Amino acid sequence: MKTAHLAFKDGVRLRAACFAPHMVRLLTVLLSVAPDTRDGCMVVTEAWRKPRHPDDAHTWCNAFDIRSRNVIHEGSLEPAMLAWASRAKASLDSPDWQIVVHGEGPGLHMHAEFDPR
């Protein structure tokens, strides 16, 4: 199914800063280059959170995590997620963005972060 909707996993915490213009742009770009999904949704699984380490961009609302397990893919899932990240990076076209795919098995996800340092 074409991925046309943005959804948030139950329990995801959003602060006003999560809707800063650059973060809305990030979500818009990620959705616009998303692969097809089984439910047609790009699902944010983490936004704001308490710091897990001293440099946790989620804490200052500069990062979103995106679900992988609903992504339709041939072969293994990780290359499909890496291709998605690559399309997003090309569209954002700035070194201020870090988009990585990490985690294993059902925890595999895309972490997309604004880091202008």
Binding site for Zn ion (CB under 5 A): 63, 65, 111
- Cβ 1 to Zn ion, closest distance in Å? 25
Residues 13, 65: contact at Cβ < 8 Å? no
Task: Give the nearest residue (CB) to Zn ion.
Answer: 111
Interacting residues of 86 by C-beta distance below 8 A, sequence separation 6+:
none
- Cβ 2 to Zn ion, closest distance in Å? 25
2 versus 88: smaller Cβ distance to Zn ion: 88
34 versus 44: smaller Cβ distance to Zn ion: 44
For residue 85, CA distances in Å to 14, 20, 53, 60, 91 come to: 22, 21, 23, 22, 10
4 versus 19: smaller Cβ distance to Zn ion: 19
User: Which of 35, 46, 38, 34 has its CA nearest to residue 8?
Assistant: 46
- Cβ 89 to Zn ion, closest distance in Å? 16
